Amino acid sequence: MKKFLSVALALVMAFGVCVCAFAESEEAMLKFHDDGKFTIIHMTDCQDTYPAHEEMFVFIYKVIDEYHPDLVVLGGDNTVGPEETKEQAVEELVKPYVETGTHFAVVNGNHDYQQGWSNSALYDLYVKYGGEYFVGSNEVDSEESGKSGTNFIPVYSSKDPSKVAYGLYMFDSGNYVFDEEGNELGYGCVEPYQIDWYRQTREENKDENGNYIPALAFQHIVVGDVYDYLYYKSPVDLGGLCSKYYGNYYTFVPKCQNFEGFLSEPPCPGYYNHGQLDAMAEKGEVKAVFSGHDHVNSYDVEIKGIHVINTPAITYHSYSDELNHGCRVITIDENTGSFESKVVTVNGYVLKDADYASKIGASKFKAAFYETVGPMLLSIAKALSVFGKILDTFVK
């Protein structure tokens, strides 16, 4: 009798565990709403120590309250500071998402490597403190790679929750590249093994008709293809007046006709380019790649049919730009597979909400100045781009 009761109790407990596991997976499942929309907020380069600046958290809560995102993607360089306060910094950073019941995912940046924690151990902190609201896995990268968190996040259909309607790729783009003597060469990038995994994953996630499902990608460091589309080349080395990437010299004269938004500093892509964007262009299902890293840039440029988009920094600790300091709101449409995105700025909230301005001690006059002068500068830059076109003829 006791044996029977023990078996029965074990079965009940096992069933309870299964039910709990199923409930948790259902709760964490990302799904389009009945109107076919899904909202992501890209918040990148928080890059603050512990305790972080209160102004940043005021902004985070404000954006969540207005847009009610289905997912927040923390875009890398998420925390900095000494090793001994890293755990507190992560716990503090994810608190707004846990408190508001907002799912979030994480990609690592180059500075996330620098506080004495391995990336896998750091990733575990987000899992620990994010609890049921953390979305993602750490199954692709290895200890040998030093990376963590490269993974595929499915978004399920509003019409049939058993079907994946959209994909979100998270890539750890690494930290720095060194030569054999240990000298730093430049930034890291998405590696060949990650590109191979991406190709395999897109094959595994075709729909019932064999079509590739649309997708977006997120990583910290921008893809290496941007310079050809953002800047005019120079036939010679201009020293401090140009950048050199992949054997070419690029002036700081922007191709303003190619992009929307602001290009306030030269991007810093990886030292190597292993053909990530070429791989994504093969089937054309990836609609955009979102990056951070370059704090004061907020551009959107189309390359090989893919939008390469930079989101400005949210940090109040590292360098930022009052012109476009903020985050990016992305809205995906299940019915068309398309997306829209826009930058939401601190200045915009300062102008709309006197209470918000008071909380962060911001000047409405200064905010109005930046909100006005920004579009003016962009218009002037586009008008002057004709001189860049003339220069480009000599390079060709």
Q: Which domains does the chain have, with CATH numbers?
A: 32-395 (3.60.21.10)
Token digits of residue 89: 């910094």
- The pLDDT-based confidence of 118 (bands split at 50, 70, 90) is confident
Return the SS3 of 214.
Answer: coil
Q: What is the pLDDT of residue 370?
A: 85
* 334 vs 10 pLDDT, higher one: 334
> Across the chain, which distance is largest between two alpha carbons, in Å?
92
Q: What is the pLDDT of residue 240?
A: 86
Residue 21 in this model has a pLDDT that exceeds 60:
no
Residue 391 in this model has a pLDDT that exceeds 90:
no
- Residue 284: partners with Cβ closer than 8 Å, 6 or more residues away: 212, 305
What percent of the chain lies above the pLDDT cut of 70? 89
Place of tokens 């949210």: 314
Residue 139 in this model has a pLDDT that exceeds 90:
no
CA dist 74 and 149 (Å) reads 12
Place of tokens 């090989």: 304
Q: What is the pLDDT of residue 167?
A: 98
Alpha helices, DSSP H, located in 215-299? 226-230, 276-281
CA angle 40, 286, 195 (to 5 degrees): 110
- The pLDDT-based confidence of 10 (bands split at 50, 70, 90) is very low
pTM: 0.90
CA dist 166 and 183 (Å) reads 41
User: With the CA atoms of 10, 11, 12 and 15 taken in that order, what torsion angle do they form, in degrees rounded to the nearest 10?
Assistant: 120
Residue 123 in this model has a pLDDT that exceeds 70:
yes
Token digits of residue 193: 């093994």
Place of tokens 């905010």: 367
Q: What is the pLDDT of residue 119?
A: 81
Place of tokens 């994810």: 94
Highest mean pLDDT among 23-27, 175-179, 216-220: 216-220
Q: What is the pLDDT of residue 357?
A: 95
Among 357, 261, 354, CA closest to 310: 261
Q: For residue 248, which amino acid is it?
A: N
What one-character-per-residue DSSP string does 189-208 give? Answer: ---HHHHHHHHHHHHHT--T
Mean pLDDT of 110-130: 89
Residue 19 in this model has a pLDDT that exceeds 70:
no
- The pLDDT-based confidence of 384 (bands split at 50, 70, 90) is low
